[in-house]
Structure 1
């Protein structure tokens, strides 16, 4: 890793990281603030959820609102956070490599006393650090929301909440790795953005459509998003060790390939 480049890239992108992090924190605090009013009428709301088609509840993680973390998993972690982090991964991975190659800035980086491998590894670490910051702030905001708005009056399983956040980070560690691999192989910023977006939201769409019906469930087998199930994490009905390991391996392999292939490929410098 190139420490000087890492500090500079973090400085350049820190505002973006913090905007997403505080936006995520604000939204999750809003969900915590809303829950006490929801919790008073949870039986009626659960009846409404049960009346929905089974596929709709499964697709959007609506597994009942009997606990605060169940409500949060359905209202935030099941859709909004996924879309937010998907955008972060696609945009940032493109900016960190493909954009620099496309605009000619990569030539200046590689003219310094460093190697391609170090540059690619440094940029990968910037992306991972950004994801970690966003999820870290989101998790801390969740604990703050529990202390401020629930205050022990409503059940809140902190260990399941942490597992849900770890799962979200590992999912986008894998998604970010794939997007970064695409960026490392591209000379054109728009092309890299399009391919990364197609792959990421294609995976998301396969998982979403696969949840709607037993006839389409096979589609989820082709999506890494199927390895992250916040509703099942809250209910304790998923093998976290297996899914977390697979996501971590996908991320590590993708980032590793990105560094290796970027080091060997021809660049229009």
Structure 2
């Protein structure tokens, strides 16, 4: 069971942060869509030709032949990875580590809620916010595309792409939440919780440069988000997304066990 009062309170306290990230991604999504021209090609393609190394590094070097490929390259190559990641890190640290560090966890536990109940509630709030953010971005892309480029978007492929990015962020959120449950100090939780995600992103950027650095892609979770495989509905895209879900489940499960067993200065 979850603490309904705590759930409602946490959702009310997080709506402003959710709104900020929704507005940021709204800005980037609409800007990117205005740069797509189905008859002449993307305006960003010319920029990619002038600075191919930089565009490759940030994952913006894929196909732009169709609208879904264009969005996959210029929106899901980096922007839809970095901003939702930052969002979940901030929430993960706020819900557990910050409460332990500032002493408010003592109040929650002394009010009659068990550790398990508090953990489940905070976990549910985190996943609800993540789902709302990804769902909003998905709906935004569908609505804007229908107005700006009717019939040009492969809706099924676009939905698969968003499912894949949701799986990725569930795994990253699980890692952040795990360290939020392990560490008693907010600073330590932030170092490890955000540090692993930042490491994965930086390694992926290096791997995108190809050459001798290409094999570094095997040292990051980002490789499991296979945009091209999801777009063409290949089995590889589905089982890689499944691996991300298993990582998320494993991290959240471990976080539950460790949180209930940890020693806290309450």
TM-score by length of 1: 0.90
1:56, distance to aligned residue in structure 2 (A):
5.0
Spell out, residue by residue over 1:146-201, the C-alpha distance to the aligned partner (whole angstroms, 9 max, x if none): 1111123xx31111111111111110100000000000011111221122121111
**Displacement of 1:101 after TM fit?**
0.5
C-alpha RMSD of the superposition: 2.3
Kindly report which structure 2 residues correspond to 1:1-269, keeping only aligned pairs within 5 A, or say none: 1-35=2-36, 38-42=37-41, 49=48, 56-57=55-56, 60-152=59-151, 155-234=152-231, 239-269=236-266
Q: Unmatched 5+ residue regions in structure 2?
A: none
Q: Does the CA-based 8 Å contact 2:203-2:220 persist in structure 1?
A: yes
* Cα pair distance change 1:194/1:70, threshold 3 Å: same
Displacement of 1:217 in angstroms is 2.2
- Whether contact under 8 Å (1:55, 1:211) holds in the other structure is no
The superposition leaves residues 50-100 of structure 1 with CA deviations (integer Å, 9 ceiling, x where unpaired) of 787589547514222211111111211111121101211221111111000
> Is contact 1:171-1:225 (8 Å) kept?
yes
CA distance in 2: counterparts of 1:238 and 1:56, whole angstroms: 28
Alignment partners' CA distance in 2, 1:56 and 1:15: 32
- d(CA) in 2 for partners of 1:43 and 1:105? 51
52-61 or 21-30: bigger deviation: 52-61
The answer on whether the counterparts of 1:182 and 1:195 sit within 8 Å (CA) in structure 2 is yes
Q: Which one has more relative contact order, counting CA pairs under 8 Å at least 6 apart? A: 1
- Report how many aligned residue pairs link the two structures: 265
Helix, strand or coil for the counterpart of 2:35? helix
Contact 2:174/2:249 (8 A) holds in 1: yes
- Superposed displacement of residue 119, structure 1: 0.6
